[in-house]
Amino acid sequence: MLPPPPAAPILPTSRRSALKLGLLGLGGLAAPLAAQAAGDGFTHGVASGEPGADGVLLWTRYRSGGETRLTWELAETQDFARPAASGEALASPERDHCAKARASGLAPGRWYYYRFVAPNGETSCIGRTRTLPAGPTARFRIAVFSCSNFAFGWFNAYAHAAEAGDFDLAVHLGDYFYEYERGEYPAPKEALGGRELWPAGETVALADYRARLATYRADADLRRLHQLYPMVAMQDDHESANDAWQNGAENHQSAAEGDWAVRKAASQRAWREWMPVSDDEDWARYDIGDLATLYRLETRLVARSEPLDLAKVLAGAKPGEAEAALAAFRDGAWRDSGRELLGARQRDWLAADLARSARSGRPWQVLGQQIVMGSLAMPGVIGEGLSDKTPEWLRRRITAMLAASKAGIPLNMDAWDGYPAERERLYRAALEAGASLLVLAGDSHNAWAFDLDHQGARVGVEMAAHSVTSPGAEHSLPWVAPDALASSAVARNPQLKWCDTARRGYLAVELTPSSATGEWRFLASVRERSTALAGTHRMTVLAGVRKFAAG
């Protein structure tokens, strides 16, 4: 067996790369957020996404009194002396003035520069993008993000990844923005000054979602990230409403907020307008040369069954009845084979394509999806600090989770743990395909590393990314020291190999033919604007091994 690669930094930043990034016309990003987005013209910079070996999707926003037909140019040099591709894109009020175009006929594995030009000669800032490689590929680097709540802090994780300069692709696993009204999450005392949300109310209608996306996309560091890297993006729940599923959401009240289907459609329309994503299928694959296949999955809005609720299982149970109620739930509703996350059509597509990717000899099948897949039961240390000062709602939730843990039930019914039959179907498909899964997950706000197995057979590993700004367990469980929580969680959960539940940042992933390495990067703060790191943690899995190397 080959040893793990040495612990050198995954993404060294050179003076040359820093100077190169500085040439892309980023000076305007230092302006206040309101000034960046006000008025007509190019209001929110540029972005690119959904790259292939021969093309990439381009995005901008151009505001005017009506429809504007923009031209776009893409070239290998910033002077655009010899454009590699060009075309037109329509910025229309019908699409909130957002414009998208597909550049095709490009060379694989190559950096390009692009820009948009208005009929009056006004030019957007210059963006940089990259096509996916084809054929032999020695290395590919991905910056992975999740859970970016605007009012909780600065998007320093985006700034750090942009400053590093050496990624090939950005992946956003969802909760790109949050739907809550101003002052709900975060509470007023937790909100960072200068990070005021618009609209002030909760996002429910199409105009609300558009305004909230405009607020987020005016952020200098998010605009910079989009300007420098192509992105593969997916929706989690907060792009519509908290704990969303196919036919509803925890944070949707039909009596006051109308039909869920109407709200969901509005949220999806605004997201597709404002993001560098196509209007095609909700899931897709991206072949990265002969090295990997990256899958963009949908686990939230299309086919998800309603999440189970442990509190409801225990509601009304008399003393001595809780254990029996939980056992009945464990052996009944929780294991129901009819409960779904992917749905039959996506599940069949994924199973077939995992087999195709594995047969091609690619060593990595990377599942980019929203929620934690590894099994996670609540460690007992969490209950040791409950007191009279603990909010009653939190006391009930923790008490229910601790009781469930004793009954062999995991803690988070909104994650894959709440859909064990669907997870088993996926694991069986991966094993039958001979795939080596590298699962990327977000949603939890915390950093996790799992070895995934099914009935004793290794399936792969999971690298779950911590949040950009949204608080983790340090916020909801302040009485538990982070180190004690981490060690207790690892001891309680056989699949869990490491975790960090107290710091914000992003995940850097490096793929090579022989190994996949994740480096969790922890920013020193999100309350002050800075790219200083407080630390990193690295985990490596060797090709074909399907478990993390001992470190």
Residue 7 has pLDDT above 90, yes or no: no
When pLDDT is averaged across residues 285-305 and rounded to a whole number, the result is 98
Q: Which two tokens stand for residue 443?
A: 């949603």
Task: Give CA–CA dist 438/140, Å, rounded.
Answer: 14
Q: Tens digits of per-residue pLDDT, 461-519?
A: 999 999 999 999 999 899 999 999 999 999 999 999 999 999 999 999 999 999 999 99
pLDDT band, very low/low/confident/very high, at 318 (cuts 50, 70, 90): confident
Q: Is 536 exposed, middle or buried (0-12, 13-18, 19+ CB in 10 A)?
A: middle
Secondary structure letter of residue 28 according to DSSP: G
pLDDT band, very low/low/confident/very high, at 1 (cuts 50, 70, 90): very low
Q: Which of 334, 325, 423 is nearest to 372 (CA)?
A: 423
Residue pair 162/523 in contact by the 8 Å Cβ criterion: no
Helix (H, G, I), strand (E, B) or coil at 233: strand
The per-residue pLDDT for 13 is 37
Element (H, E) at 448: strand 447-454
The per-residue pLDDT for 398 is 85
Task: For the chain, give every domain's residue range.
Answer: 12-129, 310-508
Helix (H, G, I), strand (E, B) or coil at 346: helix
Q: Tens digits of per-residue pLDDT, 263-294?
A: 999 999 999 999 999 998 899 999 999 999 99
pLDDT band, very low/low/confident/very high, at 77 (cuts 50, 70, 90): very high
pLDDT band, very low/low/confident/very high, at 397 (cuts 50, 70, 90): confident
Report the chain's mean pLDDT, rounded to a whole number: 92
Residue 470's Cα: distance from chain center in Å?
A: 12
Count Cα atoms within 13 angstroms, Cβ side, for 26: 22
When pLDDT is averaged across residues 151-166 and rounded to a whole number, the result is 97
Residue 5 has pLDDT above 60, yes or no: no
When pLDDT is averaged across residues 213-228 and rounded to a whole number, the result is 98
The per-residue pLDDT for 551 is 64
Superfamily of domain 12-129: Purple acid phosphatase-like, N-terminal (2.60.40.380)
Q: Tens digits of per-residue pLDDT, 437-450?
A: 999 999 999 999 99
When pLDDT is averaged across residues 159-186 and rounded to a whole number, the result is 97
When pLDDT is averaged across residues 152-180 and rounded to a whole number, the result is 97
When pLDDT is averaged across residues 102-115 and rounded to a whole number, the result is 98
Residue 36 has pLDDT above 60, yes or no: no
When pLDDT is averaged across residues 132-160 and rounded to a whole number, the result is 98
- The CA-CA-CA angle for residues 211, 212, 213, to 5°, reads 90
Residue 340 has pLDDT above 70, yes or no: yes
Residue pair 175/148 in contact by the 8 Å Cβ criterion: yes
When pLDDT is averaged across residues 372-386 and rounded to a whole number, the result is 91
The per-residue pLDDT for 383 is 86
Beta-bridge partner residues of 59: 47, 100
The structure's pTM equals 0.94
Residue 144 has pLDDT above 60, yes or no: yes
Stronger pLDDT, 543 or 389, i.e. the higher one: 543
Task: Give CA–CA dist 342/325, Å, rounded.
Answer: 28
Residue pair 385/480 in contact by the 8 Å Cβ criterion: yes
pLDDT band, very low/low/confident/very high, at 454 (cuts 50, 70, 90): very high
The per-residue pLDDT for 38 is 55
Amino acid in position 512: T
Helix (H, G, I), strand (E, B) or coil at 240: coil
The rounded radius of gyration (Å) of the Cα atoms in the chain is 23
Q: Which two tokens stand for residue 421?
A: 């039959």
Q: Tens digits of per-residue pLDDT, 9-24?
A: 444 333 334 434 444 5
Q: Which CATH number is associated with domain 310-508?
A: 3.60.21.70
